[in-house]
Structure 1
């Protein structure tokens, strides 16, 4: 049977992003600009807090992925405050524990990611970038538990606060509120 170009395009476009919903240009700009402003504010505040407290680590690398969820997909359950804050903090704690308890990185890395995912399921705080936090901690050789609270938890809280302010200023609902 001979397939037409239209059929093939429709059938295979799924694999090239064809399942992505259409987003108007204003929303693309609003989301991207929000992530820019949000991350700039969070980084500046975190760096200032780090300088005040004498801590060199004031940034967590996966914050960009968390910002995507908060600013682009604010309605997602994985972008809600509990998911972002608890998911990131829990994953940092798990990653640090795996770093201490498991000597070999090839074992510590998958264990940190899988245990953090299981923990997020248990605490109902699934946040995909948080699994990366667990890996970043092990890869970075971060062995002090303070890191889970600053920068990870503080940066997550700051991101949520800035994201909520920006969303409400631009007419979006964030965080989600239960409907009656």
Structure 2
């Protein structure tokens, strides 16, 4: 009976994070502290730039998800500068364009996200949080192309810069160099 229970636990632990690699506490804390510092810096600079330019939109809502990749998984191809900056910016542009062409939100949302994914495949800049950017644009009824450049592109660039500085100061190479 006990052996059967152990087998069941091993078999189904996958569904409860059993496939996740073990991460040392020092690395967890390094990632969390980096994400905090990086996001605080990016949001402070973006807010200041927004006030300077008189724009209300200075925050890209999916920035937290991008920060997870940049600070916790800096080795991932999806966390590299091109993926973060180009993926987010492209997805915003796609979402805004779809919103101009399709008025029905139930069609515009999946169309924007799926076309953004296709664009990221074509430009080789897959970044999962970027698909959310396309949805955010449609949900927020963002119709100005300027949004793709500020805050989306500017926030993405600032996040990558903060990630690069922090990672390299704490012993992690970022961005990854092709081998």
TM-score by length of 1: 0.97
* 2:82 maps to 1:52: no
**Per-residue deviation at 1:147?**
0.1
Query: For residues 115-145 of structure 1, what are the alpha-carbon distances to aligned partners after superposition, in whole Å with 9 as ceiling and x for unaligned?
Result: 0000000000000000000000000000000
**Per-residue deviation at 1:66?**
0.1
Instruction: In structure 1, list runs of 5 or more residues that go unmatched.
Output: none
Other structure's SS at 1:115 match: helix
CA–CA distance in structure 2, aligned partners of residues 156 and 128 of structure 1: 13
| Structure 2 residue aligned with 1:19 | 19
CA–CA distance in structure 1, aligned partners of residues 2 and 48 of structure 2: 64
**Per-residue deviation at 1:55?**
1.0
* 2:70 maps to 1:65: no
For these two proteins, the number of residue pairs brought into alignment is 179
Instruction: In structure 2, list runs of 5 or more residues that go unmatched.
Output: none
* 2:171 maps to 1:167: no
| Structure 2 residue aligned with 1:108 | 108
Other structure's SS at 1:173 match: coil
Q: Residues 115-154 of structure 1: matches in 2 within 5 Å?
A: 115-154=115-154
**Per-residue deviation at 1:2?**
9.4
**Per-residue deviation at 1:4?**
1.2
CA RMSD of aligned residues (A): 1.2
Query: For residues 31-84 of structure 1, what are the alpha-carbon distances to aligned partners after superposition, in whole Å with 9 as ceiling and x for unaligned?
Result: 001000000000000001111111110001000000000000000000000000
| Structure 1 residue aligned with 2:176 | 176
TM-score by length of 2: 0.98
**Per-residue deviation at 1:3?**
6.0
